[in-house]
Amino acid sequence: MRTGFSIYSFWNAFRTRAMSVEEAFAFMQQHGAEATEIADFSVPLHDGLPGPFRVMGYDPDMEKKLVEYAEKYQVPMSAYSCGSDISRAKGDDYKRMLGHLFSEIDLAHRLGIPLIRIDLVRVMVGRDDVGIAAYDGLFEQGGESARTLCDYAAQYGMTVTLENHGTLMNGADRVRKLVTAVDKPNYGVTLDLGNTVCVDEDPLFTARDLIPLAKEIHVKDFYIRSDPYAIGAKFKDGYTVADPSVLGNGSWLTTKHLRYLRGAIVGHGDLPMRDLIHTVVHSDFAGDMLIEFEGMEDPRIACALSLNNLRSIIELEK
């Protein structure tokens, strides 16, 4: 069981140009990371990314550079992550999106990566329906899309995963139901130990439910708050948050039932991190545990502390 980072953990440093992709690999080597996940929205592999992700500028040589960096700094690329809304796309949009995801699988294979996480839906609290009817409505198309992607990835011996992510395709029962229905040997779960609080589930129970399906683990901690005034949200009147999907200070996420989350250094937040790591260590999981830091601190400080804390907890729980 290796430990390391999702490269998304350094996105704030990429965004402010405080760190380059190569410097992120050098940092990971310096701190003993044993693996990294490449996220397509964090490194400039594609032209035409959405606004917030354009800051680095498209680099047509980035694919080649990633291979060079992984070799130079001895940090293997263990997973690739990409988003999509394929479970809701229709007609020509569906065909285009499926073709794009095939090309993402091809890219991951060229990078020598054995696992690709593919999101099936994009939603935001306050802008999209995240109830059970919405989930049921995308279940059939989402499942069939996942089967098609698994069949395509199988030619490379690649595993495809679904992450418990966001506020629609999240929660132990929803994720387990879809992955089980897909029923492909190369389909499983990227288990994010923190994301389940986005739908206000107990993260420990979710981890216990999904660990048998897990192929990769994201280690994440959150601060959890219930009072929007305490976090500086903007209001349209004395009691109503103006836009719960984008809070005023940009650092907080909104949960399904309108609590507020901010990414934290592993072990510094409100999640039962030692119990979560205990669940992983004392299971049959044999994949990679990768920190996915989403907080507002300097990623270089936060990631160093997070990896040290994670490894300390693992040693305690062995």
What pTM was estimated for this model as a whole?
0.93
The candidate with the shortest Cα–Cα distance to 165, out of 292, 13, 304, 31, is 292
The DSSP-derived string for 177-195 is HHHHHH--TTEEEEEETTG
pLDDT at residue 28 above 50?
A: yes
Say yes or no to pLDDT of 51 above 50: no
Dmax (CA) for the chain in angstroms is 57
On whether residue 151 sits in a domain, the answer given is yes
Q: Which of 259, 255, 219, 252 is nearest to 233 (CA)?
A: 252
Task: Give the integer Cα–Cα distance in Å for 258 and 250.
Answer: 16
Q: Please state, in angstroms and rounded to a whole number, the distance separating the CA atoms of residues 120 and 134.
A: 13
pLDDT at residue 254 in the model: 83
Structure tokens given for 70? 């992984």
Residue 264 located in a structural domain: no
Assess whether pLDDT exceeds 60 at residue 80.
yes
Q: What is the pLDDT of residues 185-237, one digit of tens each?
A: 999 999 999 999 999 999 999 999 999 999 999 999 999 998 877 777 766 66
Q: Residue 310: helix, strand or coil by DSSP?
A: helix
| Phi, psi angles (nearest 5°) of residue 6 | -75, 135
299-317 and 273-281 helices cross at what angle (nearest 10)?
60
DSSP label at residue 245: T
34 in a structural domain: yes
Backbone angles phi, psi at 71, to 5 degrees: -75, -45
- Please report where in the chains the tokens 């993402």 appear, as a residue: 104
Q: Give the SS3 label for residue 3.
A: strand
By three-state DSSP, how is residue 261 classified?
strand
What is the residue-wise DSSP string for 125-150?
TTTS--SHHHHHHHHHHHHHHHHHHH
Least confidently predicted of 2-11, 92-101, 117-126, 183-192: 117-126
Domains identified in the chain, total number: 1
- How far is the C-alpha of 30 from the C-alpha of 284, rounded, in Å? 29
- Could you tell me if residue 129 is inside a domain? yes
Report yes or no on 252 lying in a domain. Answer: no
Domain that holds residue 155: 3-222+269-317
Rounded Cα distance, 164 and 172, in Å: 8
Q: Is residue 263 part of a domain?
A: no
Summarised one tens digit per residue, pLDDT across range 275-311 is 999 999 999 999 999 999 999 899 999 999 999 999 9
What does the alpha-carbon distance between residue 220 and residue 33 come to, in Å, rounded to a whole number? 16
Q: What is the CATH number of the domain that holds 213?
A: 3.20.20.150
**CA dist list (Å): 144 to 17, 80, 103:** 40, 21, 18
In a domain? residue 152: yes
- In this prediction, residue 47 carries a pLDDT of 73
Mean pLDDT (whole number) for 238-262 = 71
C-alpha 192/C-alpha 1 separation (Å) is 16
The answer to whether residue 139 is domain-embedded is: yes
Question: How far from each other are the two terminal CA atoms of the chain, in whole angstroms?
Answer: 12
For the segment 91-107, the average pLDDT, to the nearest whole number, is 96
Q: Is 170 left (phi over 0), alpha (psi -120 to 50) or beta?
A: beta
